[in-house]
């Protein structure tokens, strides 16, 4: 029995990205079989190599974010460096870049040039504010996109300033939109016989697209959604509660039948049978009362007991997980959400598993993030450069 190909096998992706959004988009492609060549500056490479917790001088995040990628060092300020990149792009399917708009154009590598070079090329452009508009030339990180896109305004408690979500969610969501756009463009190319095209993703728009009913609620009612802490506004009950042993649990009992089962399970048949609470609008009108009831119940019991009651009553709930909780959780383990890998010195370590799960052509990790320029000679040889030419490029500081 032959092993099926991964779904993106045969695609060549060139990554001109650093840090989070662009590299995360190409990582997804690499996990599902695309050949991803990451172009890095010879002078240190992607700054992510030095972000957060370092092991032997290299970020653990790097080993995950750059898995399955090849690292090619290339000085794009050097004419020969740009020539190498053009050779790569002439046979590529996707270019993913997250420079500030105008940078590639100044290098003579704008869309008009690249499209003429390779009409089938799909160019994914991730930037703070997109390739057009009055703010296009301004720098914009994920935090700025989260702020402008509406996420920061509604995150936190109503009596305190806005807070971040704890991860670089703006960059990651933008990366997902980038991959979705690339796959749409590829389908158009392959099925409809079209040319390649530009996929223009602005970080603030990637967040804005997730803001649910915020715009029509303001447009129709003049309603501005505010910060509500752990409460899901307008949908009751759904909140985080603290147990007797000081731990925390998210309870989502906002379905009509679920709410009734929940109230019966905690001994509040009066609320379970209250006709005024049979639907969400009635429950939301008495939100404070209901959260008080649930708080008192949870406060009086240890987490394990709370979770068992909720499980028996089929009420959606979860304790609030840390990384430590995840590593020993049967659900995570059953779904193979931790992959065993080895660091360059042979030390074993766990990295996140692959999402999504495909039944016939699943993604996988073939190798961890490479050393800077680890594949430079291999990639150049594949482009037709012989050993003497590669040596000359190295001597000139081009690679």
Distance CA 283, CA 12 (A): 53
The residues near 224 (Cβ < 8 Å, ≥ 6 apart) are 218
CA dihedral 3, 7, 11, 14 (to 10 degrees): -110
Q: Are 243 and 299 in contact (CB under 8 A)?
A: yes
Which string of DSSP letters, residue by residue, matches 20-82?
SHHHHHHHHHHHTT-EEEEEE-TTT--GGGGSSSEETTEEHHHHHHTTTEEEEE--TTSHHHH
Query: b vs e for 270-279, b when ≥16 Cβ sit within 10 Å of the residue's Cβ?
Result: ebbeeeebee
**Residue 73 phi, psi dihedral angles, 5° rounding:** -85, 135
At residue 122, the 3 state secondary structure works out as strand
295 in active site: no
At residue 103, the 3 state secondary structure works out as helix
Q: Are 199 and 185 in contact (CB under 8 A)?
A: yes
Q: Are 60 and 52 in contact (CB under 8 A)?
A: yes
At residue 163, the 3 state secondary structure works out as coil
Active-site hit among 46, 171, 256, 284: 171
Q: Which residues belong to the active site?
A: 171
């Amino acid at each position: 029995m032959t092993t099926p190909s991964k779904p993106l096998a045969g695609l060549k992706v060139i990554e001109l990205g650093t840090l989070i959004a662009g590299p995360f988009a190409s990582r997804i492609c690499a996990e599902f079989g695309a050949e991803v060549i990451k172009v890095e500056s010879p002078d240190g490479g992607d700054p992510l190599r030095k972000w957060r917790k370092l092991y032997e001088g290299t970020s653990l995040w790097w080993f995950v974010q750059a898995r399955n990628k090849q690292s090619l060092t290339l000085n794009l300020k050097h004419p020969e460096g740009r020539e190498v990149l053009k050779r790569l792009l002439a046979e590529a399917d996707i270019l993913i870049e997250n420079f500030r708009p105008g940078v590639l154009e100044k290098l003579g590598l704008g869309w008009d040039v690249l499209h003429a070079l390779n009409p089938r090329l799909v160019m994914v452009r991730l930037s703070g504010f997109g390739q057009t508009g009055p703010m296009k030339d301004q720098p914009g990180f994920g935090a700025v996109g989260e702020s402008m896109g509406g996420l920061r305004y509604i995150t936190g408690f109503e009596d305190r300033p806005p807070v971040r979500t704890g991860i670089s969610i703006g960059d990651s969501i933008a990366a997902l939109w980038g991959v979705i756009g690339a796959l749409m463009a590829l389908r158009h190319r392959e099925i409809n016989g079209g040319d390649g095209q530009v996929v223009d993703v602005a970080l603030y728009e990637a967040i804005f697209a997730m803001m649910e009913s915020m715009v029509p609620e303001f447009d129709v009612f003049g309603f501005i959604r505010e910060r509500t802490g752990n409460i899901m506004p307008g949908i009751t009950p759904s909140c985080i509660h603290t147990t007797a042993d000081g731990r925390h649990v998210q309870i989502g009992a906002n379905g009509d039948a679920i709410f009734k089962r929940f109230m019966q399970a905690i001994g509040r048949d009066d609320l379970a049978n209250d006709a005024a609470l049979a639907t969400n609008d009635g429950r939301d009108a008495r939100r404070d009362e209901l959260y008080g009831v649930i708080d008192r119940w949870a406060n009086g019991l240890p987490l394990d007991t709370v979770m068992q009651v909720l499980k028996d009553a089929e009420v959606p709930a979860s304790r609030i997980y840390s990384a430590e909780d995840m590593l020993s959780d049967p659900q995570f383990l059953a779904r193979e959400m931790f992959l065993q890998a080895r660091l360059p010195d042979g030390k074993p370590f766990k990295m996140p598993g692959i999402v999504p799960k495909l039944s016939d052509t699943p993604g996988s990790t073939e190798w961890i993030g490479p050393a800077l320029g680890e594949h430079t000679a291999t990639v150049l040889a594949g482009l037709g450069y012989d050993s003497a030419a590669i040596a000359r490029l190295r001597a000139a500081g081009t690679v």
